[in-house]
Amino acid sequence: MPLYLVAVPLGNLEDITLRAMRILREADAVLCEDTRRSGHLLELLNLPSKHLVSLHEYNETERVPQILSWLEEGQSLALITDAGTPCISDPGFKLVRAISEQGGQVVPIPGPCAAITALCASGLPTDRFRFIGFPSTKQGEARQMLIDLKEAEETLIFYVSPHQMGDFMPLCAEVLGSDRPAVLARELTKIHEEFRRGTLKQLCDDPGNPLGERVLLIGGCPEEAPATTESIESCVRMLLQGGYTVSRAAKEAAARCGCKRKEAYRVALQIAGVEGSDEMEEIK
């Protein structure tokens, strides 16, 4: 039998799918993070009580052999998480890998995912994004991670727990830039659902209600604005005053300003007030 990965509501019970309801109703056992919480969820969904087996980050490795044997015996097993989609910053990866390595079947039952739910309503670019999950609680590791992500052009998505907010948000502003657009999404699909939008600095200054886990979305690294004529002229003038020849000033200005060398050379000629047709031929 396959292992079914069943996505469950983030908060609003109406988000459960018909297919997920059927799989949970037919399963011989349900693997879950918290048996009490999952048992309550099944009750709220009017589903029959099940044999619930705990599977969390501290016992997943030791649980794998037993679960594999149940699947080989033909038992129908469903894996759920406390909220959202299994394996996405939640337990399940080790189990899925073990089943796949043995040639077993894993069937995803799609549904709610906090990262995607927050992204689609954030107002930030959705064509490209990078899901990071929970950042390290160690400040040095979190800082290095942000440094590595600083040039990423995609929208960045983090899960941030309440106790991390006070340290992680200012760190993001420091490393990525306080003017980066960002969104804090809290209590997704629940009564008090909230999206706070602004720059990283604005959200650091006013993060809102401190309770509940949040999804933090940060706009990607902005593209550099094309060099203006004024900026090229300023750079060329400085280089010429520093003793650079017209040709060398044009080459250096093009590298510094990110413009075409011909454009920088034209500006250099105008500033220097000389004819440079011969030199122009050299840089075509």
pLDDT in the model for residue 213:
84
Q: What's the mean pLDDT when you consider all of the chain?
A: 92
Phi, psi at residue 161, to the nearest 5°? -80, 160
Q: What percent of the chain has pLDDT over 90?
A: 78
Residue 275 confidence (pLDDT): 44
pLDDT at residue 147 tops 50: yes
Tokens for 246?
A: 């017209």
Between residues 152 and 284, the one the model is more confident about: 152
The full set of domains in the chain, from first to last, is 3-112 (3.40.1010.10), 115-218 (3.30.950.10), 229-282 (no CATH)
Contacts of 185 (CB under 8 A, 6+ apart): 114, 117, 118, 121, 122, 193, 194, 195, 214, 215, 216, 217
Predicted pLDDT at 273? 81
How high is the pLDDT of residue 24?
A: 98
**Residue 190 pLDDT > 50:** yes
Residue pair 173/146 in contact by the 8 Å Cβ criterion: no
pLDDT of residue 274: 57
Q: Per-residue pLDDT tens for 266-275?
A: 999 999 885 4
Q: Provide mean pLDDT across the span 136-155.
A: 95
pLDDT exceeds 90 at position 223: no
Please say if the pLDDT value at position 8 is more than 70. Answer: yes
Can you give the pTM of this predicted structure?
0.78
